[in-house]
Structure 1
């Protein structure tokens, strides 16, 4: 079968190419990809090429298909897996296979599987590691978001706390405790707010979300309201720290000087890490969620408090398969809705330049429908295009009805009415 895909050949060498997929073996599965969301990790893979830990050394000779946040439908199942999977099943994939200790992952390492391809061959190791996950939701884009949401779920699970005199770590945030999400209104920060309020495992009593951009904070507050958080037993506070003379003191004041049991740092900024350290309560846990590009990134920490106040430091860079299952289940049940992460829509033709320019494109997740022709367009620009393009006129109407957010109805209309390859 022929497919069209975005393939990485080397440093920032991304090409849209049509090529023949090999016939599937008895232990493989043929699938159609519908959506893939672009991740900053895609940008890093393109920026580094063969120097990236997950990208093969011979990528110039054997290019890989880029993209690891994808969702689609199974087309054909090899004999070995026919008792577990069927044609027509919707799926998402956990890309961190950890197969026999290897770093190889779909979207980084494979010739025949990646999110930016119309069709893919799913290799046996994906099924062997139980990383081909059924998705029963209505909208494909939520299946694509299950991977980034799983990273957020993993972050909450990685937090830990202790009891004096015991060496046992109590995993997870403090239930009913104080949580701060610093630089928390980017796409992953919004997901972290959603999960803090709506998860059914542990909820904090207080969530304080900071940023230095009023517009971004107001958008976050319109999506995750103080009133809704209160209904779920959470006090939610949004705080712009840009013009506050002493932001650390202001954050401490919200807790009456107690500090925060859990702090998530969502941007790789030294001052932000040091602020997070300064607001920790006794036995507080700081999670450095943001992945820095620089290998020498560092910040000062108060080791007096590490010793005498039992401060902890952790870092998470992804979720595991259990986290993805939790993510899919919460979305299927309607308990969380990470659609707020998505700010741009595009087709496959938009992928190469979007990946290369990603740090300079404002907004959140860039969602790609791989089988259609469409430039990358911000959702809040649909209205400006509505006067000259009937496709965007209808899409603008649909997202306006959904508080300016992408929706299952918008997805169905796009798939039915967009030009295809």
Structure 2
């Protein structure tokens, strides 16, 4: 007999079994022949909630975590063995409530989850380095319950609720996701080269300053550590000022010396010295900010005109790597964006994914009065020359390939925006004309994850009818079909999202055109 929603309280176990798929660092190939495990589910501690997983959608990051193992950025720097449950895009139903959480939560309450939380000052992700949703039940601690869950309506399908998180991530890629001001109390590095005649009317309140080269006049005698060159400086620094004609080697070094959340501001007038080598994982994961100006007043780098993060209305945008689920989400967002681009170029390297993009989104483009150009990577340069002869206004790179990011940067218009959405292992290198940030207004941003506010905004668009998430639900499956579903995502044989229903063990991987709440009936409980 199935226990009631309130039966698992006070930390006691009443025989409820949690069927789940553990990930303990094995290979992706090993996962294909593994079996789910069953374990007793203890009730919540006083500050916890136990939630039933109604639905969980597969993210390409799930596959990336398995394939990269301890080399994944989430696990880098730790010696602990990987032992978790993947699955972070979830729709939850409160099952049992700890004694200290009864004022906010109740059995039967429906929740969405933003899985990237802060614990003890560190970023932890439910469904990656913390146990997640490839399971029938999920334990939520006080950190997650305080700031990372949201109430969601009953009339939407659980599949749609699970997709709020990936759509929120796409939303976050086009929002301010890097610092736009000096860091008060932070550490600063100022590097001056030839033609470093720049000024700051008001010196920021830095806690410590290091100067390489001649100290700029705006330091006005302020104490600073002096160094002859960058070779003997380790960093990291919160704010870095690169003034004058710095070389490629110097700019590459400065990119490595930025702290997480760091800001690199270039003051430069001379032509670009060439392409700088940057770590794209740092752009994606570390919230770096790249600003610049050719004007003598360095504060002009912070002008609103240089702070564009969303797409240029009526412009031409490229989704580079649009065939996968997240690329499709970006295409979908741009097509239904009120102030979106006139033309969206969607690229992919796989033929079936190209035809699926055309089939699924061309009607939406026509109804929205937008021009959707679906093209294989081999024809992408020609398409850009035809539809954006002066350069692209915006590019989001969803393909996890530094060369793809470098190509995208080369296709941008002088003041174009490049969003690095794909994740990379730390240590790879992207070659990019970083001086263009100062000289032509290039915007370089990266993002990972989303916020509850991003998810709420997506939910509001779904509820007011301006966004239909079912356009990206391609297939559904029960929990025991998870390996087959993961392989379909990894191989690209299914375009769009695959939604897993953990409460149904026996549901085979099944195409799901026009998926909705009525078709979902009976799968979530």
TM category, shorter: 0.7 to 0.9
> Is 1:131–1:321's contact at 8 Å kept on the other side of the alignment?
yes
In the TM superposition, what whole-angstrom CA distance separates every residue of 1:272-320 from its partner, at most 9, and x where no partner exists? 323312221121111121223x545434324564443222222222212
Matches within 5 A, 1:12-161: 12=27, 15-49=35-69, 52=72, 54=74, 58-59=80-81, 63-110=83-130, 113-128=131-146, 130-136=147-153, 137-158=155-176
Partner of 2:386: 253
Distance verdict in 2 for CA 1:31–1:241, change over 3 Å: closer
Partner of 1:409: 518
> Is 1:248–1:275's contact at 8 Å kept on the other side of the alignment?
no
Partner of 2:275: none
TM-score (norm 1): 0.79
Instruction: Identify which of 397, 409, 413 aligns with 1:281.
Output: 413
Greater C-alpha radius of gyration? 2
Mean CA deviation greater in 310-319 or 206-215:
206-215
Distance verdict in 2 for CA 1:281–1:50, change over 3 Å: closer
Structure 1 residue 329 displacement after superposition? 2.4
> Is 2:93–2:108's contact at 8 Å kept on the other side of the alignment?
yes
Partner of 1:393: none
Distance verdict in 2 for CA 1:43–1:221, change over 3 Å: closer
Matches within 5 A, 1:359-398: 359-363=490-494, 364-374=496-506, 376-379=508-511
Mean CA deviation greater in 80-89 or 158-167:
158-167
Partner of 2:314: 176
1:204 equivalenced with 2:219 (yes/no) = no
In the TM superposition, what whole-angstrom CA distance separates every residue of 1:370-396 from its partner, at most 9, and x where no partner exists? 0112365251xxxxxxxxxxxxxxxxx
Q: Which has the higher helix share?
A: 1
Structure 1 residue 178 displacement after superposition? 2.5
Q: Which runs of 5+ in 2 are unaligned?
A: 1-15, 179-290
Q: Report the 3-state secondary structure (helix = DSSP H, G, I; strand = E; otherwise coil) of the residue aligned with 1:176.
A: coil
- CA distance in 2 between partners of 1:357 and 1:229 (Å): 27
> Is 1:178–1:262's contact at 8 Å kept on the other side of the alignment?
yes
TM-score (norm 2): 0.65
- CA distance in 2 between partners of 1:375 and 1:9 (Å): 25
Instruction: Identify which of 3, 6, 17 aligns with 1:2.
Output: 17
Partner of 2:446: 315
Aligned alpha-carbon RMSD (Å): 3.0
> Is 1:8–1:15's contact at 8 Å kept on the other side of the alignment?
no
Q: Report the 3-state secondary structure (helix = DSSP H, G, I; strand = E; otherwise coil) of the residue aligned with 2:93.
A: strand
Count how many residue pairs are aligned between Structure 1 and Structure 2: 381
> Is 2:293–2:438's contact at 8 Å kept on the other side of the alignment?
no
Mean CA deviation greater in 15-24 or 207-216:
207-216
Q: Report the 3-state secondary structure (helix = DSSP H, G, I; strand = E; otherwise coil) of the residue aligned with 2:117.
A: coil
Mean CA deviation greater in 117-126 or 5-14:
5-14
Structure 1 residue 189 displacement after superposition? 1.7
Distance verdict in 2 for CA 1:248–1:16, change over 3 Å: same
Distance verdict in 2 for CA 1:48–1:275, change over 3 Å: closer
Structure 1 residue 332 displacement after superposition? 3.0
Distance verdict in 2 for CA 1:376–1:341, change over 3 Å: farther
1:333 equivalenced with 2:470 (yes/no) = no
